Amino acid sequence: MFTRTSSRNNGQNSCFAVYFVICFPVIKPRSGLTMSDSSLKPPASNKPLRPPQVVALSGSPGGLQLPVTAPQKLNSNSTNGNTSSASGSATGNPRNKCALKPGYSLMSWIRLCNSGADLSGTGGRTVPVSRSELALHNKVDDAWMAIRGRVFNVTRYMDFHPGGVDELMRGVGRDATQLFDEVHAWVNYPQLLGKCYIGPLKENAVKSTKDPVSPEITSAIPKPTEILPRFDWIQQRSELTLIFYTRSFANPGMVVRRQNSQQLEVRILIGQQWHTFDFQLTEKVEWPPKVAKMGAETGKIEVVLGKEEPAPWPIYGTHTTRKLDSNSIQEEHYDYQVIHREDFNHDSFELSLQSAERDRLMLLPVGYHINIEVPVDGELIHRSYTPVDHAYLSVDTNSDSISFLIKRYPNGPVSSHLHQLQVGSRVQLGPPRGGFLLSELNAHRNILLLAAGSGLTPILSLIQPILKRNTNRIETLHLYYFNKTSGDIWLKKKLEEMQTQDERFSCKHLLSQVEEKPERISLELLTSLFREKQPDRCTYVAICGPSGFNTAAVDILTQLGLKPNQMHVFRG
Ligand SMILES: Cc1cc2nc3c(=O)[nH]c(=O)nc-3n(C[C@H](O)[C@H](O)[C@H](O)COP(=O)(O)OP(=O)(O)OC[C@H]3O[C@@H](n4cnc5c(N)ncnc54)[C@H](O)[C@@H]3O)c2cc1C
Ligand code: HEM
């Protein structure tokens, strides 16, 4: 059971190149560990071993993680020219890690993932795959692999695989869950292969999640401390309030579905785990709820429902709870219709949606997004969008509506399609998704937000929770907002108002297409915020923009001494 970790530790001079481990969204190590860290030493007690810990380069489910030591390890790997190391492996076999060819480092893979290249080969669509179809893709230049009921196109990953092409080929064209887990159950494949995802494995998708996994390996993987939402209720004569407590900064989300005037299904999302409460209420309530809100600092969700007949109730009713399979929820789509669409500036527009049956309400965790799916040339294509608080928009809508600010790209199929929708038009929305860890920001009192163009939307959702928090109160919050011209800037006035209201917040606009002093993201621009020993030195940065912008930002911040766990890049 402990062979793997002990052998890693023994092989101190071997090529411990890169660790991807299962990401624990709720309880997450604050800092990454190096190979000399005690968690990698042989166990002194019988406690289960922890896999090597990592720090987040991006916390989103599609985001990638790097160990603190990753760049050095990759370098040493490529310079010593070893093709394998001599230390043992998880299974007791000699380690079989390969030197990666130049240009196939982890960083290069991250860049490729962020380049917009179609790594799944499906053009952004999710396509269910049958076992017989899967079996056809078993060649090195056409390689699909199923892990836990999800099929990935690993063709482009071949040369990046630290275990080598031949090893990866052992799992292609089939359900490789067991093999994968036997070799390296801790590898965070959903993040690494996020952009390679094709779709669910059609038959036995659920069964495959229960595929037998080596008991030795599973028992060595620590289970994150799970947060179970706790339910409570209060009432007034005319209102019933359902309250869900999670944990401070747990950043929960919620989807409520009204089945009838006395039955509600409330799904609470914490990290990647969904919990469901099925309510049978004592009497009838109105829809939509009067209020649905989440306290970022408290981690408390409240849903205030109007009673059809105002009167005190003896009890709220009854409820049952159950956990849901997060993978299958990610495949769900909900029918929404347009209730408002209005141009916002020369190339962007506001879009407000409401569930078509008027039976659903979504509340997203801070920094999470939703996939909007539309038909284009007979195919369904989706893109990510981050809801924007109604306070930022011209429209005043109901608590069960969801609004977006969308930039239209003339050659962009989804944004162009959404732009021409009329009130009453239908679109499909996916459930909330993301991996942003609000709690990660708590240690930091001087924070920089970098947004480019429409990348403002996730960044916007962070501003108020950061400024309002009482725990380790923020000292400075800088927003650097990059656009081409001043006409492209979103919400300039609102951002100015926020500066006036709270002197800890400052917003700087940087324009790349102006005659006088065009400005882009650069080392010179950011240096002043990161000087050593400066009391208000920024220690955390959240980044959202086009992939080139994100990559440049991460490179510059790395040069300025920031570690991967001090940055979060929002990705789809
Ligand atoms: C987590 C996340 C949240 C997002 N939230 C929002 C949001 O709230 N509002 C919003 O408008 N968009 C948002 N986006 C971007 C959105 O998902 C789409 O990428 C965008 O709408 C373009 O889709 P498309 O199909 O129209 O064009 P695509 O086919 O994806 O792109 C067409 C062309 O447009 C250009 N392009 C596309 N995206 C960008 C970009 N971000 N910056 C510069 N050029 C680009 C490229 O030249 C590309 O070739 C978000 C993206 C992510 C990852
Ligand atoms: C199922 C077929 C696969 C096989 C047989 C396989 C085999 C291997 C082997 C033998 C190693 C070297 C292990 C060692 O260090 O001792 C390795 C490392 C690695 N593989 Fe795979 N692999 C498979 C699939 C994948 C997939 C799909 C991914 C992508 C997410 C992946 C990512 C990695 C990573 C990140 C490492 C380095 C892990 C570490 O340092 O411990 N592998 N693999």
**CA-nearest residue, atom 23 of ligand 2:** 168
**Greater confidence, 4 or 553?**
553
Using the mean position of ligand 1's atoms as its centre, give its distance from the Cα of residue 565 in Å: 26
**Greater confidence, 515 or 262?**
262
**CA-nearest residue, atom 25 of ligand 2:** 168
Q: Is the pLDDT of residue 335 over 80?
A: yes
Tokens for 473, please give them: 């109160």
What is the pLDDT at residue 30? 25
Using the mean position of ligand 2's atoms as its centre, give its distance from the Cα of residue 558 in Å: 27
Distance CA 481, CA 545 (A): 10
Contact 513, 486 (CB under 8 A): no
**Greater confidence, 284 or 516?**
284
Q: Is the pLDDT of residue 20 over 80?
A: no
What is the pLDDT at residue 225? 64
Helices in 425-546 by DSSP H: which ranges? 456-468, 492-501, 523-527
Q: Which ligand is nearest to the CA of 374?
A: 1
Q: Which ligand is nearest to the CA of 3?
A: 2
Which atom of ligand 2 is least distant from the CA of 106? 35
Which atom of ligand 1 is least distant from the CA of 414? 25
Distance of CA 245 to the CA centre of its chain: 22
Asked if residue 306 has its Cβ within 6 Å of ligand 2, the reply is no
Q: Of 483, 533, 537, whose CA–CA distance to 508 is shortest?
A: 483
Distance of CA 571 to the CA centre of its chain: 7
- Mean pLDDT for 425-443 is 91
Using the mean position of ligand 1's atoms as its centre, give its distance from the Cα of residue 223 in Å: 36
Tokens for 438, please give them: 């609000």
- Mean pLDDT for 200-209 is 56
Q: Is the pLDDT of residue 517 over 60?
A: yes
pLDDT digits (tens, 9 = 90+) for 120-154: 998 778 888 999 899 999 999 999 999 988 999 99
- Mean pLDDT for 421-440 is 93
Which atom of ligand 1 is least distant from the CA of 348? 11
Mean pLDDT across the chain, nearest whole number? 80
The confidence band for 357, taking pLDDT boundaries of 50, 70 and 90, is very high
pLDDT digits (tens, 9 = 90+) for 398-417: 788 999 999 999 999 999 99
Largest CA distance in the chain: 77
Question: Any idea what DSSP says for residue 430?
Answer: -
Beta strands in 13-161 (DSSP E): 55-56, 65-66, 138-139, 142-147, 150-153
- Mean pLDDT for 49-56 is 32
Tokens for 277, please give them: 């409460």
The confidence band for 394, taking pLDDT boundaries of 50, 70 and 90, is confident
**Greater confidence, 78 or 416?**
416
**CA-nearest residue, atom 9 of ligand 2:** 163
What is the pLDDT at residue 4? 27
What is the pLDDT at residue 390? 87
What is the pLDDT at residue 188? 82
- Mean pLDDT for 50-64 is 34
Asked if residue 170 has its Cβ within 6 Å of ligand 2, the reply is yes
Q: Is the pLDDT of residue 215 over 70?
A: no
Using the mean position of ligand 1's atoms as its centre, give its distance from the Cα of residue 295 in Å: 29
Residue ranges of domains in the chain, CATH in brackets = 3-220 (3.10.120.10), 230-329 (2.60.40.790), 333-429 (2.40.30.10), 438-569 (3.40.50.80)
Question: For residue 42, is the peptide bond before it cis, meaning its omega torsion is within 30 degrees of 0?
Answer: no
The confidence band for 296, taking pLDDT boundaries of 50, 70 and 90, is confident
Contact 63, 190 (CB under 8 A): no
What is the pLDDT at residue 21? 26
| Probe target for ligand 1 pocket from 454, 462, 543, with the most ligand atoms within 8 Å of CB | 454
Asked if residue 89 has its Cβ within 6 Å of ligand 2, the reply is yes
Which atom of ligand 1 is least distant from the CA of 404? 8
Distance CA 357, CA 341 (A): 19
Using the mean position of ligand 2's atoms as its centre, give its distance from the Cα of residue 445 in Å: 38
**CA-nearest residue, atom 3 of ligand 2:** 168
User: Nearest 10 degrees: CA dihedral of 440, 437, 213, 9?
Assistant: -20
Alpha carbons within 13 angstroms on the beta-carbon side of residue 162 total: 22
The confidence band for 68, taking pLDDT boundaries of 50, 70 and 90, is very low
- In percent, the amount of the chain with pLDDT more than 90 equals 59
Asked if residue 150 has its Cβ within 6 Å of ligand 2, the reply is no
Q: Is the pLDDT of residue 244 over 90?
A: yes
**Residues whose beta carbon lies within 6 Å of some atom of ligand 1:** 369, 383-386, 404-407, 409, 411-416, 453-454, 457-458, 546, 570-572
- Mean pLDDT for 486-499 is 96
- Mean pLDDT for 420-438 is 93
**CA-nearest residue, atom 30 of ligand 1:** 412
Using the mean position of ligand 1's atoms as its centre, give its distance from the Cα of residue 151 in Å: 25
- Mean pLDDT for 480-489 is 96
**Most confident range, picked from 84-98, 157-171, 185-199:** 157-171
pLDDT digits (tens, 9 = 90+) for 154-180: 999 999 999 999 999 999 999 999 888
29-43, 233-247, 343-357: which has the minimum mean pLDDT? 29-43
The secondary structure of the chain in percent helix, strand, coil, rounded to multiples of 5, reads 25, 30, 45
Which atom of ligand 2 is least distant from the CA of 18? 40
Distance CA 59, CA 61 (A): 6
Q: Residue 502 burial (CB < 10 Å; 0-12/13-18/19+)?
A: middle
Using the mean position of ligand 1's atoms as its centre, give its distance from the Cα of residue 114 in Å: 12
Angle at 518 between CA 517 and CA 520, to 5 degrees: 130
Asked if residue 169 has its Cβ within 6 Å of ligand 2, the reply is no
What is the pLDDT at residue 176? 94
Q: Is the pLDDT of residue 63 over 50?
A: no
The confidence band for 16, taking pLDDT boundaries of 50, 70 and 90, is very low
The confidence band for 243, taking pLDDT boundaries of 50, 70 and 90, is very high
Q: Is the pLDDT of residue 527 over 80?
A: yes
Type of residue numbered 102: P
DSSP states of 182-203: HHHTTS-HHHHTGGGEEEEBST
Contact 152, 168 (CB under 8 A): no
Distance of CA 73 to the CA centre of its chain: 26
| Probe target for ligand 2 pocket from 150, 183, 213, 217, with the most ligand atoms within 8 Å of CB | 183
- Mean pLDDT for 389-404 is 86
Type of residue numbered 334: Y
**CA-nearest residue, atom 2 of ligand 2:** 171
**Greater confidence, 99 or 274?**
274
Q: Is the pLDDT of residue 43 over 80?
A: no
pLDDT digits (tens, 9 = 90+) for 299-333: 999 999 999 999 999 999 999 999 887 778 888 99
**CA-nearest residue, atom 5 of ligand 2:** 167
What is the pLDDT at residue 97? 62
Tokens for 22, please give them: 């299962």
What is the pLDDT at residue 454? 95
